[in-house]
Amino acid sequence: MKRFFILILLVLIAAIQEAPAQKRKAERAYAAFEAGEYYDAIDQFKDTYSKTKGTDKAARSEIVYMIAECYRLTNDPKNAETWYKLAVKSSNSKPEAQYWLAESMKKNGKYPQAIDELKKYRQIASSDARADQEIRACELALEWQRNPEAYRVEELKDLNSKESDFSPVYGRDDFGVIYFTSSREDAAGNKTHGATGQGYTDIFESRIDKKSKWSIPVPVEVINSEFEDGTPVLIDDYKDLYFTRCEAGKREKKGCVIMYSKKSGDSWSEPKNIGILPDSVVAAHPALSADGLTLYFVSDITGGSGGKDIWMSNRPATGGAWSKPKNLGPDINTNGNELFPYLRSDGNLYFSSDGLIGMGGLDIFKAVPQPDGSWVVTNMKAPINSSADDFGITFENENEKGIFSSTRKGRGNDELYSFEFPPLKFNITGLVKDEKTGVAIAGSTVQLIASDGNNLQAETGTDGDFKFALKPDVDYIFLASKDGYLNGKEKETTKGQERSRDFMVTILLTAIDKPIELPNIFYDFGKWDLRPESMVSLDKLVETLTDNPKVTIELMSHTDSRDTEEYNYDLSQKRAQSVVQYLIEKGIEPDRLSAKGYGESSPKVVDASIVSQASFLKLGTPLTEAYINSLANDEQKEIAHQINRRTEFRVLRIDYVSTKK
């Protein structure tokens, strides 16, 4: 019995001693978290969790949530999703756990599941507008995956390491030199970053070798320090280097500064702080205009939109003082983070954001400045963007190709990817057919007339087909001709086309051996003035006559059989003349035109096109008065009379020579 009481006493003493120790572990875990050392905090929170009794559900739930937060903030969405799921299942679950579970799923590319979780979050936090925005973002991401942009994206395996490699910039006009940020083993700093678990970053350099491969990257001498150095940008013939340097201390948050170094020969000068902001705050990710007078950078100073914003500063001349920073405003900045700005020579700004509608974590956006000082911002979509973080883009001057950074392979490390918008290629395949029969017309001549002055010619094959290669940003006319037919044409353009495309076109030629009806020529009852709706058809006739300058025609007007024969001749003549007058007013030479009224003397013969619209009429039958009177009812008779009331033209000559000078 005595031994039993001693055992109980030892257990109680151990429990009493363990409680303060457990409290100290928890305090150290929270201290690491508050200092931004999330990677270090994970193990400490996990240790605390394993020692926390199962009966203390509130404490265990809080620790689970904190572990999930650490994984999220170290950019490990896979583990974050696992722990947020545990946090959501807890009886003491926070609404934020539901939101960040959805965001982790989104970043893992699980868009349908993320939508489901966001809908749950919307029910418990109906006032939070983020839910609807993120649901829309997931829907767009699925759409952009199904219909990606035409960019070709490839991993740069020669440059990437097991650690993080990101934020590239070219170091020479021929793009054969690259500078980028990396935490690989060759970096100068020998400490491990508490937020990432990786070594401090340095700026590395690589060159294209004779085999068109990137050489083994090496640290840039003089530039790098024992602290974090990265996000380089080069201007002034690649001789002026700006980059970010961040000091870091244990359990201590320090600022970041923008450094400057000048190249002389093959050597860089000792970097100096440009002094854009006090050293105790963040000034990072510089981007400069080509003349070096406008600076964009990232900071979380007071006056922003929340998170880290992009700011701008100017100076009057090289070496002059920088102006007070100005926030780029709500077109660019959000309550999330806007990072890694890059300025092209055309003034367009590229940056990454996790606050705008995007596919995952950070997406790359293009911002075009407007005359009123605003910006038009667009997501670059897939395949430039992915469900992971995409950022730190650079271009080969005006070319739509370059390099960017991404964590899309799922390892959590940043890696470099090349991208290129392939040259636009356009082709057109066409058919030339008989307008009436639909039969292909072999041996017809097709002329390509381009707005850039190019003029080509081809002959259709046995199937009436032709093909041309087209150029970007050009308007085209395709004019087809064949003996016994009026010339026909179609138009196409490659202007505004952002993707390669194969066009298809059909050119219909009208045979001239029979009269050609002009559809939709309307007059009021008993009158010969053209109604406005007739103009569309007549304007098309003007175009046909313009395309066939050697043709002369007779305008033929027909009435139905009602009223007297004399009246119908007179009315039809006046109607034919009104058409001729319209064509003359549109610039057609009068001696190419003649007008003749046929009254009721030439009833229409029913053809296949008429039967398709009025099946009660018999193919090949002339619509005489006797035939019309034999029809079943007044409705059918009126349709037949309407068919007889028509305006046609026939070709008289094909050798007309203009007398115009």
CA distance 561 to 568: 8
H or E stretch at 541: helix 535-547
Q: 544 pLDDT exceeds 70?
A: yes
pLDDT of the residue at 518: 84
User: What is the distance between the alpha carbons of residues 377 and 116, in angstroms, rounded to a whole number?
Assistant: 28
What pLDDT is stored for residue 59 in this prediction?
Answer: 85
For 110, the token pair is 């699980």
Q: Is the dihedral of CA 214, 215, 219, 221 positive or negative?
A: negative
| CA gap 20, 26 in Å, rounded | 10
pLDDT at 211: 85
Q: In terms of CATH architecture, what is 516-653?
A: 2-Layer Sandwich (3.30)
Q: For residue 216, is pLDDT > 90?
A: yes
> Read out DSSP for 542-601?
HHHHHH-TT-EEEEEEE--S-S-HHHHHHHHHHHHHHHHHHHHHTT--GGGEEEEEEETS
Looking at residue 479, its pLDDT comes to 96
Q: Give the pairing type, strands 593-599 and 228-235.
A: unpaired
Which of 69-73, 90-94, 390-394, 499-503 shows the highest mean pLDDT? 390-394
Q: Is the pLDDT of residue 205 over 90?
A: yes
Kindly report, residue by residue over 163-172, the tens digit of the pLDDT.
999 999 999 9
Phi/psi for 284 (5° steps) reads -145, 170
Q: Nearest 5 degrees, angle CA 509-CA 515-CA 517?
A: 75
Q: 333-346: per-residue pLDDT in tens?
A: 999 999 999 999 99
Q: Where are the domains of the chain?
A: 23-146, 152-420, 426-509, 516-653
- Please give the Cα distance from 606 to 205 (Å, whole number): 81
Among residues 591, 579, 589, 590, the alpha carbon closest in space to that of 649 is found at: 579
152-420: same fold as 23-146?
A: no
Tell me what the mean pLDDT of segment 112-118 comes to. Answer: 97
23-146 folds as 1.25.40
Stated length of the chain: 661
The Cα 458–Cα 487 span in angstroms is 15
Find all residues with CB under 8 Å of 275, minimum gap 6, and list them.
322
Mean pLDDT computed over 273-287: 91
Q: Tell me, what's the pLDDT at 15?
A: 46
Instruction: Identify the weakest region by mean pLDDT among 194-208, 227-241, 280-294, 500-514.
Output: 194-208
pLDDT digits (tens, 9 = 90+) for 13-62: 444 445 565 667 778 888 889 888 898 899 899 888 888 776 678 888 99
Dump pLDDT digits (tens) for 588-637: 999 999 999 999 999 999 988 889 889 999 999 999 999 999 999 999 99
> Over the stretch 482-502, which tens digit does the pLDDT of each residue have?
999 999 999 999 999 988 899
d(CA 129, CA 111): 18
pLDDT category, 562, cuts 50, 70, 90? confident
Q: Is the pLDDT of residue 411 over 80?
A: no
Please give the Cα distance from 38 to 389 (Å, whole number). 18
Per-residue pLDDT, 357: 96
Residue 246 pLDDT more than 70? yes
- What is the DSSP code string of 138-169? HHHHHHHHHS--S-EEEE-TTT--SS-EEEEE
3-state SS assignment for residue 73:
helix
**Topology, domain 426-509:** Immunoglobulin-like (2.60.40)
Mean pLDDT of the chain: 90
pLDDT-derived band at 250 (thresholds 50, 70, 90) equals low
pLDDT (0 to 100) of residue 10: 45
Express each pLDDT in 296-334 by its tens digit: 999 999 999 889 999 999 999 998 999 999 999 999 999
**Residue 12: its pLDDT value, please?**
44
Report how far residue 639's alpha carbon sits from residue 588's, in angstroms, rounded to the nearest whole number. Answer: 33
Cα–Cα distance, 29 to 37 (Å, whole number): 9
| Choices 3.40.50.620, 3.60.110.10, 1.10.8.60, 2.120.10.30: CATH for 152-420 | 2.120.10.30
